[in-house]
A and B are shown apart, each in its own frame.
Chain A
Amino acid sequence: MTGAQLVLKVLQQHGVQHIFGYPGGAIMPIYDALYDSDVKHFLSRHEQGAAFAAVGYARTTGKVGVCMATSGPGATNLVTGLADAMMDSVPVVAITGQVFSSLIGTDAFQEMDVLGMSLSITKQSFLVQSLDELADILHQAFEVAQSGRPGPVLVDIPKDIQIGAVDFEPYALPEKTFEPVADCDIAKARDLIGAAKKPLFYVGGGVGLADAIDELQDLLDATQIPAISTLKALGTVPSDYPYNLGFVGMHGNQAANHAVQECDLLICTGARFDDRVTGKLDTFAPHAKVIHLDIDPAEIDKLRKADISILGDFKQILPALKATPEISAWQQDAIESIAKYAWRYDYPNEDIYAPALLNKLSKALPYDHVVSCDVGQHQMWVAQHMQFTSPRNHLSSGGAGTMGFGLPAAIGVQVARPDTTSVVVSGDGSFMMNVQELGTIKRFNLPVKIVLLDNQRLGMVKQWQELFFEERYSETNLSDNPDFLTLAKAFDIPSVSISKADEVDAAIEQLVNSEGAFLLHVQIDDKANVWPLVPPGKANHDMIEGA
């Protein structure tokens, strides 16, 4: 068979059924092989859309997402999606076509140093140099993408390798193995937990990535220790857990941020002390000893010194940490704080209060729905005001903060989970960044539900201009947006626009009950801001609330 046919055979050996991509000159042999393959290809309308669809597919299933593009600009258009996957530890394999090996380094048409570009935005990357190594490199790509801390891997395949003849070999998938965790470290951590008066779980995305959500929930049940969650962890701690203090960080819940500042033991579980979580780092959890649990040794002591660190598989580690600290006063504090700082939705005006709309939407959607959001104010409102049953049901570009993430990610979700309600919550700025993917929704009749919160502004930047740049609104006015209903109609997607609070219930019902894709355009006040907020350079207990 040809190298191109081998690529698809290897994908199938790894269980790949769906891929996202865009053809072009240097990857034509693989697209030709695809013509006869059982692997189903979803054509995006921009390679970045393909990359984000693969990210959405991976994040909502835990399986590897696969995207493909041609050489040169095809590959450069994948870069942002791969960088996003790198920052959020998402297992993605990207396959790029490359010009003939003999033309590499000659400035040939659409010839770029894709391997060179990939170095900082992938976990590993390969330029295939001979047919003999093609299958082995592809197998390595899948192994690396999924092992340890997951991440994106790029395989760049010159055209001569794609058209060359090669034999296909059977392949046995390797078993996932982990080093055993040292018993003495576990015992020390358990003792520390047992002796703590104010312990706090700081839950990160690593729990979901390790597929250890049940183990974490069992540990919470056993210890009854209060918990806070990062953006990527939302959905991990059950919403009805009595000591669930919620979302921590710059736009987190006050209950979560105050608890961090008061705790005497912080059990960091698959999180990484990101600046959007900690605020001013040396003021974060100032009274706490730290137990840091992770799969990645490079995260230990990177930003906060750990008193005890345990590396390895959470499925092994978490069940071994069951202790029963005497913390009734601390638990009572948590319950009171949760009540005191509960989100409020009593908004007297006639216009639409986005947090209230999102809270209603969350309750109206089917139990196991998935929300993919974009980046900005609406992203923080989603994190604050919607509830999720799993971190695989809340896809948000966390580390990279990539506008344009939501729509293509929701496409990946809908392909992976066709019976699940896949919702995008976007803003008018973000939506336009990958709006071309409405074409993909139409092409494949994907019933993606889109909620577009339109304040005719780049809202989050505008909010910072208001608060920290003397209201100098430089380039954040988007009042010349297109008519989004006409835009939807051009893609044959039904839509409705609302601007008053009394229109919300009916519009949500229409969205939820729509059979196919649907766009709900929501006009909101451009003065609405995200509260509370930890100002840059401040400690988390210095959160400010808006008027």
Chain B
Amino acid sequence: MTHTINLKAHNRPEVMERVLRVVRHRGFALQQMSMQQCDINQEVNITLNVTGERCINNLELQLSKLYDVSHIELEAATAIKSAVAMNA
């Protein structure tokens, strides 16, 4: 099944590596991606199309644990990155 994930992350040079590593390690394959720097807040917007047999929510939660990721949502889903998630 293919899923679309939108996320905002701190614009560190290695941030794409971090995100893509988690996607691969947690059992998903990348189909398509885009990344764009924002003008404000030193952030980047990343959109990933991924496919995999595992539960997409688990990937979403693992990505939300990345310290540099500030916001994440599954397309057609509500944002789940809560303050509690930030704590972990």
Please report A residues at the B interface, Cβ cutoff 8 Å: 115-116, 119-120, 123-124, 127, 144, 147-149, 178-179, 295-298, 300-302, 311-312
Supplied contacts A124-B68, A144-B67, 12 more A-B pairs, CB within 8 Å: A116-B14, A119-B14, A119-B17, A120-B21, A178-B87, A179-B84, A179-B87, A295-B88, A296-B88, A297-B85, A298-B58, A298-B65
> What is the minimal beta-carbon distance from B13 to any residue of chain A, in angstroms?
8
14 CB contacts below 8 A, A to B, read A116-B14, A119-B21, A124-B67, A149-B88, A178-B87, A296-B88, A297-B65, A297-B82, A297-B88, A298-B61, A298-B62, A298-B88, A301-B57, A312-B84
Count of chain B residues with a beta carbon within 8 Å of a chain A beta carbon: 22
User: Are B14 and A115 in contact, with the CB atoms below 8 A?
Assistant: yes
User: Are A120 and B67 in contact, with the CB atoms below 8 A?
Assistant: no
B66 to chain A: closest residue by CB: A124
Contacts of A148 in B (CB 8 A): 86-88
Contacts of B67 in A (CB 8 A): 123-124, 144
Contacts of A119 in B (CB 8 A): 14, 17-18, 21
A118 to chain B: closest residue by CB: B14
Secondary structure type dominating chain B contacts: helix
- The CA of A148 and the CA of B84, in the complex, are separated in Å by 8
Given the contacts A311-B84, A312-B84, A297 and B21 also touching, CB distance less than 8 Å: no
Task: Confirm or deny: B83 has a beta carbon within 8 angstroms of a beta carbon on chain A.
Answer: yes
Contacts of A179 in B (CB 8 A): 82-84, 87
Q: When the two chains form the complex, which single residue of A124, A147, A301, A302 contacts B87, counting CB atoms closer than 8 Å?
A: A147
Q: When the two chains form the complex, which single residue of A127, A178, A296, A312 contacts B65, counting CB atoms closer than 8 Å?
A: A296
- Select the residue from A116, A120, A144, A298 with max chain B CB neighbours within 10 A: A298
Task: Confirm or deny: B55 has a beta carbon within 8 angstroms of a beta carbon on chain A.
Answer: yes
Task: Confirm or deny: B47 has a beta carbon within 8 angstroms of a beta carbon on chain A.
Answer: no
What mask results when residues 1 to 44 of chain B are scored 1 for a CB within 8 Å of chain A, else 0?
00000000000011001100100010000000000000000000
A150 to chain B: closest residue by CB: B88
- The CA of A507 and the CA of B35, in the complex, are separated in Å by 65
User: Are B14 and A297 in contact, with the CB atoms below 8 A?
Assistant: no
Contacts of B82 in A (CB 8 A): 179, 297
User: Are A297 and B61 in contact, with the CB atoms below 8 A?
Assistant: yes
B85 to chain A: closest residue by CB: A297
> What is the minimal beta-carbon distance from A243 to any residue of chain B, in angstroms?
31
Contacts of A296 in B (CB 8 A): 65, 88
What mask results when residues 47 to 73 of chain B are scored 1 for a CB within 8 Å of chain A, else 0?
000000001011001101101100000
User: Are A116 and B17 in contact, with the CB atoms below 8 A?
Assistant: yes
User: Are B84 and A297 in contact, with the CB atoms below 8 A?
Assistant: yes
- The CA of A262 and the CA of B21, in the complex, are separated in Å by 39
User: Are B25 and A120 in contact, with the CB atoms below 8 A?
Assistant: yes
- The CA of A139 and the CA of B16, in the complex, are separated in Å by 24
- The CA of A298 and the CA of B64, in the complex, are separated in Å by 9
Contacts of A116 in B (CB 8 A): 14, 17
- The CA of A1 and the CA of B25, in the complex, are separated in Å by 42
> What is the minimal beta-carbon distance from A271 to any residue of chain B, in angstroms?
15
- The CA of A153 and the CA of B33, in the complex, are separated in Å by 28
Closest 4 pairs between A and B when the two form their complex, measured CB to CB: A148-B87, A148-B88, A298-B61, A296-B88
Given the contacts A178-B87, A179-B84, A179-B87, A301 and B55 also touching, CB distance less than 8 Å: yes
- The CA of A312 and the CA of B83, in the complex, are separated in Å by 10
- The CA of A297 and the CA of B55, in the complex, are separated in Å by 14
- The CA of A302 and the CA of B13, in the complex, are separated in Å by 30
Contacts of B84 in A (CB 8 A): 178-179, 297, 311-312
